Structure 1
Amino acid sequence: MLTEAGCRARRAQLWKSVPSAVEWLLIADPRHVLYLTNFWIHPNTFSSGERCWLLLEREGKATLLGDNFSLRSRAADPFIDDEVMVQWYDHQHSVINRDHALLKAAEQIADRLYGRNGVVEAEWLAVGAFELLGLDHEQHSVKREAKDLHKPGAVDLGTTLRALRRQKHPDEVAVLKECMRAGEAGMKRLREIVRPGISEFEIFCEVQKAATEAAGRPATIYGDFRAASALQPKVGGLPTNHKLENGEMFTLDYSVVLEGYRSDFTNCLTVGKPNAEQQRLFDLVSAAQRNGETVLKAGTRASAVFNAVNQPILEAGLADKFAHHAGHGIGLAHPEAPILVPQGDDVLVAGDVVTLEPGLYVEGIGGIRIEHNYLITETGYERLSQHEISLT
Structure 2
Amino acid sequence: MASLDDLITSSGATAYCLHASSENAAMRHMSRFVTHDPVTIIKKINEPPLMIVPQMEAERAARESPAQVITRQQAGYLEIFEHEKDPWKIQAEMISRLSKGPYLLPPDYPVALARALESHDAVIIDSTDRLSAPRAIKTPDEISWITRAQRAAEAAMETAISLIRHAEIRSGALYHDDAPLTSDMVRYEMNKTMLRYDCTADDTIVSCGPETAMPHCIGAGTLLTHEPIVIDVFPRDNKTGYYADMTRTVSRGMPSGRVTELYEAVKDALLLSERMVCAGKTGAECYQAVRDYFAELGFRSDTEGFIHSLGHGVGLEIHEAPSLSGIGGELSSGNVITLEPGLYYRGIGGVRIENLGIVEKSGFSRITDYSMDMIV
Structures share a fold, TM > 0.5?
yes
User: 1: CA distance between counterparts of 2:349 and 2:342?
Assistant: 11
Deviation, structure 1 residue 286:
0.7
C-alpha contact (below 8 Å) 2:282/2:331 kept by paired residues: yes
1:166 alignment counterpart: 136
Choose which of 363, 366, 369 in structure 2 pairs with 1:383: 366
Does the residue aligned with 2:217 lie in a helix, a strand or coil? coil
For structure 1, which segment, 305-314 or 381-390, has the greater mean C-alpha deviation from structure 2 after superposition?
A: 305-314
> Unpaired segments of 5 or more residues in structure 2?
74-84, 168-173, 175-179
Does the CA contact (< 8 Å) of 1:184 and 1:211 recur in 2? no
Partner of 1:5 in structure 2? none
Matched residue SS, 1:390: coil
Amino acid at match of 1:333: E
Which residue number in structure 2 is paired with residue 335 of structure 1?
Answer: 319
1:26 aligns with 2:11: no
Deviation at 1:13, TM superposition (A): 3.3
State the alpha-carbon separation in 2 of the partners of residues 132 and 302 from structure 1.
38
Q: How is 1:176-195 mapped onto 2 (pairs within 5 angstroms)?
A: 176-194=146-164, 195=167
Q: List aligned pairs for 1:358-369, cutoff 5 A.
A: 358-369=341-352
CA RMSD, Structure 1 to Structure 2 (Å):
3.2
SS in 1 for 2:321: strand
2:216 to 236, 241, 247: 236
For the 8 Å contact 1:289–1:356, the answer to whether it is kept is yes
Contact 2:230/2:351 (CA < 8 Å) preserved in 1? yes
Relative to structure 1, the CA distance from residue 368 to residue 32 in structure 2 (aligned partners, 3 Å threshold; closer, same or farther) is: same
Q: Deviations over 1:58-110 (max 9, x none)?
A: 35243222446777997x82222223246xxxxxxxxxxxx965764554343
Q: Is the Cα contact below 8 Å between 2:230 and 2:249 reproduced in 1?
A: yes
Distance 2:334 2:34 in 1: 23
What is the rounded CA distance, in whole Å, between the counterparts of 1:103 and 1:69 in structure 2?
22
TM-score by length of 1: 0.77
Per the normalisation by structure 2, the TM-score is: 0.80
C-alpha separation in 2, matches of 1:324 and 1:59: 40
Runs of 4+ in 1 over 6 A off after TM superposition: 69-74
CA deviation profile, 1:325-366 (whole Å, cap 9, x unmatched): 12122222232233222x315221222222111112234432
Indicate how the Cα distance of structure 1 residues 101 and 198 shifts in structure 2: closer, same or farther if over 3 A, else same. Answer: farther
Corresponding residue for residue 148 of structure 1: none
Aligned residues between the structures: 343
Q: Is the 8 A contact 1:67 1:105 kept in 2?
A: no
Q: Given that residues 52 and 102 in structure 1 are in contact (C-alpha distance below 8 angstroms), is that contact kept between their aligned partners in structure 2?
A: no
Confirm or deny that 1:119 pairs with 2:83: no
Instruction: Provide the identity percentage.
Output: 22
Alignment of 1:283-302 (within 5 A): 283-302=264-283
Distance 2:103 2:342 in 1: 46
2:233 counterpart of 1:254: yes
User: SS at 1:253's partner residue?
Assistant: strand
Aligned with 2:229: secondary structure?
A: strand
- Provide Cα deviations, 1:114-172, integer angstroms capped at 9, x if missing partner: 4x5543335314333542573456x52x4xxxxxxxxxxxxx38723111111112222
Which of 310, 324, 327 in structure 2 is aligned with 1:326? 310
Give the unaligned 5+ runs of structure 1.
Answer: 1-9, 42-46, 87-98, 143-155
The 2-side partners of 1:231 and 1:345 are apart by 29
